[in-house]
Amino acid sequence: MLTQTALQQAPYTDTRPVVAPSMRRERPPYREVVSAAKEPAGMTMSFARNTEIFAEGEPSGTIYKVVSGAVRVYKILSDGRRQISAFHLPGDMFGLEPDDQHHFSAEAIVPTKVTAYKASSLFAGGARNDGLRGELWDVAMKSLARSQEHLLLLGRKSALERVAAFLLEMVGRGEGNTALDLPMPRHDIADYLGLTLETVSRMLAELKAMAAIRLPSARHVELTDMAALRNMSA
């Protein structure tokens, strides 16, 4: 089994630019190898806010586990539209691809630490590393489940329903509490939900007006009426 330490830490709230403020897509990013492997082939790396972890088209073969921070995985269409396919929080694993290259890009949303594992070391070699191969299967199945849940959201739900479902999804990944620190800006939420950032903002305002949530600051949400949220998200 992979190490299960340092998971479930509180969502990151620091939004200060760490390097290259107001400039995105700088590359190569600030990557610092923090520790060498002690568990199988794991290597921990740090990424500054808005820096690239991997890009579409690059060779795949590395699986990442978020130690702290938050990651967005996305694709950009020809005319600049962006679809975020997933957010990854501490404990989540990502980077698995059906073939030998990445079909999506990944960026740190906030200063983020991830541990990298070679997929070949988890996958190849017959009956060897059975536990790890099981872990890889779990990653695949969880990705599939999330992807299909996401499909549902995008296909047949109104803006209000999408935002409500998003909040429930996010709070469900934390300590099971009712409070929520969003690491990502409105624009990211919008591109995850297939909406515009203005619509996301309006729906949050509407949920607030309905007293389903409190919004003490833009990134901090308290779900005050989970039943109502659950009701409207279906």
* Residue closer to DNA, measured from CB, 187 or 230: 187
Whole-Å CA distances, 137 to 61, 96, 179? 15, 10, 31
Pairwise CA distance, residues 112 & 117, whole Å: 16
Residue 199 interacts with DNA (CB under 7 A): yes or no: yes
Q: Minimum Å distance from CB 229 to DNA?
A: 16
Look at residue 118 and give the partner it binds from its own copies, DNA, none, a contact being a CB closer than 5 to 8 Å depending on partner kind.
Answer: none
Look at residue 198 and give the partner it binds from DNA, its own copies, none, a contact being a CB closer than 5 to 8 Å depending on partner kind.
Answer: DNA
Residue 232 interacts with DNA (CB under 7 A): yes or no: no
- 168, exposed or middle or buried, with CB in 10 Å at 0-12, 13-18, 19+? middle
Neighbours of 204 (CB within 10 A): 22
* Residue closer to DNA, measured from CB, 2 or 189: 189
Look at residue 103 and give the partner it binds from its own copies, DNA, none, a contact being a CB closer than 5 to 8 Å depending on partner kind.
Answer: its own copies
Pairwise CA distance, residues 206 & 161, whole Å: 11
Residue 204 interacts with DNA (CB under 7 A): yes or no: yes
Residue 205 interacts with DNA (CB under 7 A): yes or no: yes
